[in-house]
Structure 1
Amino acid sequence: MGNNIRVLIVDDSAVVRQTLESILSAAPGIEVMGTASDPYVAAERLKTEVPDVITLDLEMPRMDGLTFLQKLMRQHPIPVVICSSVAERGTANALKALEYGAVEIITKPKVGTKQFLEESSIRLVDKIRAAAMARPKPVISTPIKVRPKLDADVVIPMGRPQTLTTTEKVCLVGASTGGTEALRVFLEQLPPGCPPVAIVQHMPEHFTAAFANRLNGICEITVKEAKDGDPMLRGQALIAPGDKHMLLKRSGARYFVEIKEGPLVSRHRPSVDVLFRSGARYGGANVVAAIMTGMGDDGAKGMKELFDAGAYTIAQDEASCVVFGMPQEAIKAGGVHKVMALTQIAGEIVRTCR
């Protein structure tokens, strides 16, 4: 019990509290410390016991989640996972929570559905583990038994790189836990006229549009949520929509993106492995790729395929990562040319593409 990740669930819905408690309690290595119906009850509990991770609803009657999050981060920082219903009016607040210090966002459970039990519960447990690992002290987690983890074959089969008929460079980026702020730093440093950028950030459906709009308002380049068939243009970054895979495609000398359905790959949709494999096939040596902060190994296989296809590959270093999971796995796989701090990646990509 001593090495377990201890979780406090804060949500005004009894059904949600019961569902989250049931899922988390069933996962080896995770212990539900308790539940609270609102932030006031949670605050009282925190006086006597401190969890490793808090799951927090945003909309509650006596005090909203954002206010509680701000108070918590000022007084006693604890990794917080926002558990919010997917609603258009709530997405801006969820993104604001990331700015205030929340480390992850998950969609509130759809109780009783087969898809939730098979997919969302796995993602929920993974995000709790990612949040716990974001803390300075080490956390021992025990793998849970799940269905086999699928790779990019289920979306795009392996194939030889196409013969290139263009020298146009494109940039592919993958990120997860801590990636929202890492991408902000990266994209703010890109100058107008930079190479086209395609990004996979692990984020729920409906949140990616608000995330892209926020970045578009603060960056010199254009940032938008990708749509099927969008061209890859200089001075523009396309962000994969939540719950959809994004692939790089090419028609003659023109690059564009394909948005498609498909099963979870490396437990994610969108998956970095899918984007990177498509880049290996359709971009090859014309691709510059970066893998950033995140838990797990999504992107490691795809980056090795890019490396083997002649692409130039970069991994964010451990010191600047919130979680040094995905970059570390890509390095271990032998698919990384250079490891560098987050603040150096944009400049390296621009120099490489000249």
Structure 2
Amino acid sequence: MTVRILVIDDSAVIRRMLTDCLDRQPGFQVVGTAPDPFVARDQIVHLAPDVLTLDLDLPRMTGLAFLRILMPVHPIPTVVISEFTALGSDQAQEALAAGAIEVLDKAGLEQDADIFQARLVHAVRAASLARLRLPRQSPVGRTGSEPARRPGSEPARRPGSEPARRPGSEPAGRSASDRQTAVRSISDRQAAVRSISDRQTAVRALAPQATGTAVRPHSPLVAIGSSTGGVTALETILTALPAGAPGVVIVQHMPPRFTASLAQRLASLCAVEVKEAEQGDAIVPGRVLIAPGDRHLVIERSGQGWRAGLEDGPRLGLHKPAVNRLFESVAKAAGPHAIGVLLTGMGRDGADGMKLMHDAGASTIAQDEATCVVFGMPMEAIKLGCVDRVLPIEAIAGELMRQAGQRESGSR
């Protein structure tokens, strides 16, 4: 099956570069290009693309505003490709929150064109397989998600849920003019666009300060790996953890600079402390460490507890940081005192590392297919027979606290 791609960028040079790269890939076809969201709107109606690539800095309407309007009325898997400064990294987080599947930094075209093109192909392929989990405003203003399942990948429908339909999969009686009306509502809904900065920020509970003291022997270490769709999945887990939750270390596949912005955003929503990992950070209850986008995160023993280490080693596959490197270090340093969690993502990063953790006595959890954006990494771990529990994303935080409580009770 050919993946139909629409490239949206105001630069004719970038449009040509992206088109040339994607058209060379087996199974990919760039069916159109657009210099701004208004042209893109019409192209979506007439061309019915499977995947969009989207710049954020566009004339007539920003890419972020377009994404926020498009997703609720006509969801299409979208890879954001833009230039990101420090401010732009915040925009990248907002794009992910609005429903983008991946974000790529255009700077990669100049820094290492081969790596950028490999990441682009990986991201578009992941997007083509994605089940969208669309942004949703809850009554208190906190962002949530609602699954929108793609044709051919529908799990059993949950009570009260309705699948979002894509072009070409409309029920009988729905015409092209209906689709056109839905997409053209983009221009009518501009006034409804709201920035994340307008949302009410969740009140942070007072978390215990990490002092670098040793972790209690009965306090487990939680290691989480995620990729495509992982930002929303991580938010679901971390916002459900209480201030005294076990220490957590995370690898989320993400370019440099973006991880600091991700940590800041999650910190504003969570009761636990969330920060980008630094060399020597203590891993203690109430603290979450996220691997920097250009370093491998590893765990080292420190007395009766653990500390974070950062390595500037080679990429493992396309990935730096890599989930496998984190899990490998956790298996060695924490063994049966760890809990491993593998979330949504394409490929198999983390599967071999989870097996090492499982063989070392750690408890292991994989996100289930129904709630994954891409059921790749968890599926590969399940195939290896190293997953103890397969759970929907909404149940994972509760399971972590249940296991932590059992260990604490057993140590008394």
Q: Same-fold call, TM > 0.5?
A: yes
| Residue 108 of structure 1, CA deviation | 1.4
Q: Is the 8 A contact 2:109 2:116 kept in 1?
A: no
CA distance in 2: counterparts of 1:309 and 1:316, whole angstroms:
21
Residue 218 of structure 1 aligns to a residue in which SS? coil
The normalised TM-score by structure 1 is 0.88
1:350 correspondence with 2:401: yes
Aligned to 1:146: none
Aligned to 1:137: 151
Aligned to 2:67: 69
CA distance in 2: counterparts of 1:204 and 1:86, whole angstroms:
10
CA distance in 1: counterparts of 2:394 and 2:317, whole angstroms:
27
1:127 correspondence with 2:127: no
Aligned to 1:210: 261
Question: Which one of 43, 46, 50 corresponds to residue 44 of structure 2?
Answer: 46
> How big is each residue's C-alpha offset from its partner over 1:62-105, in whole Å with a ceiling of 9 and x where there is no partner?
21101111222133211111112131111111111112111111
| Residue 109 of structure 1, CA deviation | 5.0
Aligned to 2:113: 116
Higher radius of gyration, 1 or 2: 2
Farther-moved stretch of structure 1 (227-236 vs 70-79)? 70-79
The normalised TM-score by structure 2 is 0.76
Aligned to 2:304: 253
Q: Partner amino acid for 1:220? A: A
Q: Is the 8 A contact 1:271 1:298 kept in 2?
A: yes
Aligned to 1:321: 372
Q: Is the 8 A contact 2:296 2:310 kept in 1?
A: yes
| Residue 167 of structure 1, CA deviation | 4.6
CA distance in 2: counterparts of 1:128 and 1:343, whole angstroms:
27
> How big is each residue's C-alpha offset from its partner over 1:22-65, in whole Å with a ceiling of 9 and x where there is no partner?
21112111111121111122122222111110000011122110
Moved segments of 4+, more than 3 Å: 109-113, 165-168
Structure 2: gaps (5+ residues) = 132-149, 154-215, 406-412
Q: Partner amino acid for 1:322? A: V
1:300 correspondence with 2:298: no
CA distance in 1: counterparts of 2:83 and 2:110, whole angstroms:
16
Residue 358 of structure 2 aligns to a residue in which SS? helix
CA distance in 2: counterparts of 1:263 and 1:328, whole angstroms:
25
1:176 correspondence with 2:227: yes
CA distance in 1: counterparts of 2:309 and 2:92, whole angstroms:
27
Aligned to 1:27: 25
CA distance in 2: counterparts of 1:14 and 1:109, whole angstroms:
17
> How big is each residue's C-alpha offset from its partner over 1:268-295, in whole Å with a ceiling of 9 and x where there is no partner?
1111101000001111111111101111
Aligned to 2:274: 223
| Residue 6 of structure 1, CA deviation | 1.1
Structure 1: gaps (5+ residues) = 140-164
| Residue 254 of structure 1, CA deviation | 2.8
Aligned to 1:336: 387
Q: Partner amino acid for 1:32? A: V
Question: What percentage of aligned pairs have identical amino acids?
Answer: 46
Which structure ranks higher in relative contact order (CA pairs < 8 Å, sequence separation ≥ 6)? 1
Aligned to 2:87: 89
Q: Is the 8 A contact 1:199 1:239 kept in 2?
A: yes
CA distance in 2: counterparts of 1:166 and 1:99, whole angstroms:
37
| Residue 246 of structure 1, CA deviation | 0.5
| Residue 266 of structure 1, CA deviation | 3.4
Distance of aligned partners of 1:111 and 1:212 in 2 relative to their CA distance in 1, 3 Å threshold? closer
